[in-house]
Structure 1
Amino acid sequence: MEKYIENDILYICLKGRISSDNVDALEVEIRNLIGDRTEYAFDAEKLEYISSAGLRLLLKLKKDNDIMVVNVSSAIYEIFEMTGFSKIIKIKRPMRQLAIEGYEKIGEGAMGTVYRIDSDTIVKVYNLEDLCNIEIEVAKAKDAFLLGIPTAIPFDIVKVGDKYGAVFELIKSTNCNEYFLRHLNQAEEFYKKYAEFIKSIHSVETKDNIFPKIKDMYLEQLKAVKNVLSDEVYYKLFEDLNKIADMYSVIHGDIQLKNLMISDEEIVLIDMETLSVGNPIFEFAGLYMTYILFNKHEPNNTEKFLGINKDTSSQLFYSTVRNYYNYLPYEEYNSVLKQIEMLGNIRFLFLIYSVGIGIPELRETRIRDSVETLEKYVKGETNGF
């Protein structure tokens, strides 16, 4: 039997017809190939037929390990569907190839680029090589849709040249960033709509552990930058992070304008890889980083990324936060602002110091500035924004 290894997983190639006549010999050969491996899967690209005896063999193998069958043809997939095996074993059809030449680019971010295929469909082409992370995002999008969150319906994962892409339904929509630029004369109305939309996302709660907890992510990021912080600063930040009230609101994590679309005046979320649950304050920490911190030492950052200048970017952020928290008394509101600044700088420091994003020449300056801001926070010298 042919085999290959991909991402440390052994793939065993199934060929021809599997029936009661050859299933016993096939089992012996498969077990010899597996040896002591705990991670393996089957490639069914050249499989023509599988009988009930073959299905029972897969069930027997599944008792030992959680197996997967990939590159399943329509005929074989129909057998898995008809017998209910597709609910027991992870089945993957072969990815179709999609060419994007000539398609309109409607969005671009750190993780990938979004193209419009037609009036109803978009494809996100990922910069990631890890298919597992892409599958996680598509699964998150499906879970979000089932929770009632306005988002594009995910269809399937495709190959786009040597990259992976995910196809989504998004009917008659406009990128929210473009919409904002065309309606700058109605900015105040937009800020309110933006804040209301963010609040509507946070009103959705789930305790089913389908999304990770965003506080845990920030705690891990704080640990990753411990080396550039004094012990006093690190442990105070760790303590204050843990004090933030645990909530189960759905958090997008990167709800900036390019990750939103407007369809028939309804805002729709795209780019779901950062989806999590937690306190809404973490949402604004991400926006503070995008709209404020990246502009701090690179004043034209949002101009390049979003087409809006530094002043408009600041106004967009502050007005959205104000509209979101408009019910809070001044002291509580100021406390929220301090927490947003603290959290935003932790995440920014992590991305600059640990991940290495941004302009290399600004790296040391940005690290120093975020560390100083966090030191002032710990000393009680910050006054919110």
Structure 2
Amino acid sequence: MEIKQNLRQINIDGAPKIGEGAHGEVYRIAEDTIVKVYRPFVLMEDIRKEKELARWAFVKGVPTAISYDIVRVGDSYGVVYELLDTCSAADYVNESPENLEDFVKKSVDLMHQIHSIEVAPGELPDMKEQTYGWIEKCRQYMPSKVCDRVKELLDRIPDSHTLLHADFHLKNIMVSKSELMLIDMDTMSAGDPVFELATICNSYMEFPSISPEAAYFLGIDVATANRIWNRTLEIYMEGSDPATVKETAERARIFGCIRILDYIDRHKDAPDREKCIKTCIRDIEELCK
């Protein structure tokens, strides 16, 4: 049994919560310091891995908080980061229509910055290989001929060692002195940028189409979520012909749905589970015609 010794105990009573994700919540505990407090189901080995990935990303040039020590927060564990003068991306976006547009443009710039970084083979999980595995899982939910069609589409995606954040949405982005910074690195992987767009499509289009609660979780409404997706795609694909943009959007939505089905398969108690499955299958089948 692993013994977790000598961890500093910190108190977050009264500390403002500035972010939240599937694996934890982020609190500001000082002017220049935040702590990500992990949910009880997150293993210590995964916490250590994310801490090291954050340092790795910082060295690679990804705008992110500098990670320090692992701490105890009540009965939970957390990681302390240095992050100056920040607000949540959702708060920034909700201030004005001008801020929303500014956020989308800067988030696309940030994506391009991340996607300019090459990852050594085997250094991070390969998103294309992961997706092949998820397609096989989906055979329990969809006809094999549909899964085969998705696999054919995946075969056409170029092999790539491009760095991906792979969970690129408002809850994982902070605004620091008008610049964007990422605060959640546990999903980083390598692959074609279409997989990055797939996770963005999930956050702003697919999940909100299943339940408005998905948009509210991000701190926005469904219309704003849809606008972020549409403008992100438009700006990211600027200069591409309409047919290429349409094909990329469809591929992103298909692979995003496959990822959702994998998530649902691993989380039997997920909210709206049956609706998630039905909606994703419907959308995959429609897009694969």
> TM-score by structure 2 length?
0.93
The letter for the 2-side match of 1:122 is I
Q: Distance in 1 between matches of 2:260 and 2:277?
A: 9
1:211 matched to 2:121 = no
1:150 Cα offset (Å): 0.8
1:125 matched to 2:51 = no
> 1:63-121 deviations in whole A, cap 9, x for unaligned?
xxxxxxx74xxxxxxxxxxxxxxxxxxxxxx2111121121111111110000110111
Q: Distance in 2 between matches of 1:111 and 1:129?
A: 7
What's the counterpart of residue 19 of structure 2? 107
8 Å CA contact 2:157–2:192 kept in 1: the answer is yes
What's the counterpart of residue 205 of structure 2? 292
1:356 Cα offset (Å): 3.2
> 1:183-218 deviations in whole A, cap 9, x for unaligned?
324433332222112111111122153321122222
1:124-163 alignment runs, 5 A limit: 124-127=36-39, 128-163=41-76
Match among 75, 88, 91 for residue 178 of structure 1: 91
Q: Distance in 2 between matches of 1:333 and 1:129?
A: 38
Match among 255, 260, 266 for residue 348 of structure 1: 260
3-state SS in 1 of match to 2:77: strand
Match among 331, 335, 343 for residue 243 of structure 2: 331
1:243-262 alignment runs, 5 A limit: 243-262=156-175
What's the counterpart of residue 98 of structure 1? 10
> 1:136-187 deviations in whole A, cap 9, x for unaligned?
1111111101111111011011111111101111111111111111132443
> 1:281-319 deviations in whole A, cap 9, x for unaligned?
1111111111111111323431x2123211111011110
8 Å CA contact 2:163–2:188 kept in 1: the answer is yes
1:314 matched to 2:226 = yes
Q: Distance in 1 between matches of 2:54 and 2:121?
A: 15
Q: Distance in 1 between matches of 2:256 and 2:163?
A: 18
Q: Distance in 2 between matches of 1:216 and 1:224?
A: 13
Q: 1:156 to 1:267 in 2, by over 3 A?
A: same
8 Å CA contact 1:293–1:348 kept in 2: the answer is no
Q: Distance in 1 between matches of 2:151 and 2:269?
A: 24
Q: Which segments of 5 or more consecutive residues in structure 1 lack a partner in the other structure?
A: 7-42, 44-69, 72-93, 380-385
Q: 1:262 to 1:370 in 2, by over 3 A?
A: same
Percent sequence identity is: 34
**Larger deviation, residues 182-191 vs 154-163:** 182-191
Find runs of 4+ consecutive structure 1 residues off by over 6 angstroms: none
Q: Distance in 1 between matches of 2:140 and 2:86?
A: 45
1:373 matched to 2:286 = no
8 Å CA contact 2:121–2:161 kept in 1: the answer is no
Q: Which has the larger Rg?
A: 1
The letter for the 2-side match of 1:315 is R
8 Å CA contact 1:225–1:354 kept in 2: the answer is no
What's the counterpart of residue 10 of structure 1? none
1:210-289 alignment runs, 5 A limit: 210-289=123-202
Q: Distance in 1 between matches of 2:102 and 2:71?
A: 39
8 Å CA contact 2:92–2:100 kept in 1: the answer is no
**Larger deviation, residues 192-201 vs 310-319:** 192-201
Q: Distance in 2 between matches of 1:367 and 1:203?
A: 34
What's the counterpart of residue 364 of structure 1? 274
How many residue pairs get matched?
288
Q: Distance in 1 between matches of 2:241 and 2:115?
A: 21
Q: Distance in 2 between matches of 1:111 and 1:216?
A: 24
3-state SS in 2 of match to 1:255: coil
Q: 1:108 to 1:196 in 2, by over 3 A?
A: same
What's the counterpart of residue 66 of structure 1? none
The letter for the 2-side match of 1:368 is K
> 1:33-55 deviations in whole A, cap 9, x for unaligned?
xxxxxxxxxx7xxxxxxxxxxxx
8 Å CA contact 2:23–2:42 kept in 1: the answer is no
Q: Distance in 1 between matches of 2:255 and 2:152?
A: 13
Q: Distance in 1 between matches of 2:269 and 2:87?
A: 28
Q: 1:242 to 1:139 in 2, by over 3 A?
A: farther
